[in-house]
């Protein structure tokens, strides 16, 4: 036991690194064991959308949504999701798919929905990037294709 103590005192940086890594591993194991949502690939998400009354939520910024989104998806940016949960409360017992740009914000949204009492939460792995680029699944574009150019007319008045 004395040799362990000597090692820890002589190699405190290594010992601290071991303690931090061990803590992070345990935290990750507990998070995955108790998470209330499932990860789902874009192909399985399409199958779930076809089989049941599924709600698709896009948690990207409102500016990204019109350019490309999943058909039938609703835009609920992550920053406003806590306020907007009441709007979708009738879907608490139905499957809910969550998409973001690359799959990182979806996990946070899934935690918010789980706290609100939603039971069937699925995070689309890879987000819209995987949906469009990897799986080449169809997207909907609701942005206005017409480019509007404004010309600035400057009137100079000399007095």
| Predicted local distance difference test score (pLDDT) of residue 31 | 84
Using alpha carbons, select from 101, 108, 106 the residue that is nearest to residue 139. Answer: 101
Determine the CATH number of domain 37-134: 3.40.250.10
- DSSP code string of 43-87: HHHHHHHHHS--EEEE-S-TTTTTTSB-TT-EE--GGGHHHHGGG
| Predicted local distance difference test score (pLDDT) of residue 152 | 38
pLDDT reading at 149 higher than 80? no
Pairing of strands 120-124, 37-40: parallel
pLDDT reading at 151 higher than 80? no
What are the sequence ranges of the domains in the chain? 1-34, 37-134
**CB atoms inside a 10 Å sphere around CB 77:** 18
Environment class of 148 (CB within 10 Å of its CB; exposed 0-12, middle 13-18, buried 19+): exposed
Q: What is the mean pLDDT of the chain?
A: 89
| Predicted local distance difference test score (pLDDT) of residue 144 | 66
| Residues 58 and 69 sit within 8 Å (Cβ to Cβ) | yes
| Average pLDDT, integer, range 91-100 | 96
pLDDT-derived band at 154, boundaries 50, 70, 90? very low
| Number of alpha helices (DSSP H) and beta strands (DSSP E) in the chain | 6, 5
Q: Is 1 helix (H, G, I), strand (E, B) or coil?
A: coil
| Average pLDDT, integer, range 6-32 | 94
pLDDT reading at 73 higher than 50? yes
| Average pLDDT, integer, range 39-56 | 94
Full-model pTM: 0.75
């Amino acid at each position: 036991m004395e040799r362990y103590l000597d090692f820890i005192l002589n190699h405190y940086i290594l010992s601290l690194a071991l303690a931090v890594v061990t803590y992070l591993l345990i935290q990750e194991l507990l998070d995955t064991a108790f998470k209330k949502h499932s990860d789902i690939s874009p192909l399985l998400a399409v199958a779930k959308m076809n089989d049941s009354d599924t709600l698709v939520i896009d948690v990207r910024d409102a500016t990204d949504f019109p350019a490309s989104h999943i058909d039938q998806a609703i835009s609920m940016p992550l920053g406003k999701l806590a306020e907007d949960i009441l709007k979708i409360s009738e879907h608490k017992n139905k499957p809910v798919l969550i998409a973001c740009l690359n799959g990182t914000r979806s996990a946070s949204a899934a935690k918010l929905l789980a706290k609100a009492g939603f039971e069937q939460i699925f995070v689309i792995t890879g987000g819209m990037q995987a949906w469009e680029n990897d799986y080449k699944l169809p997207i909907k574009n609701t942005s206005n294709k017409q480019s509007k150019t404004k010309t600035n007319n400057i009137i100079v008045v000399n007095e």
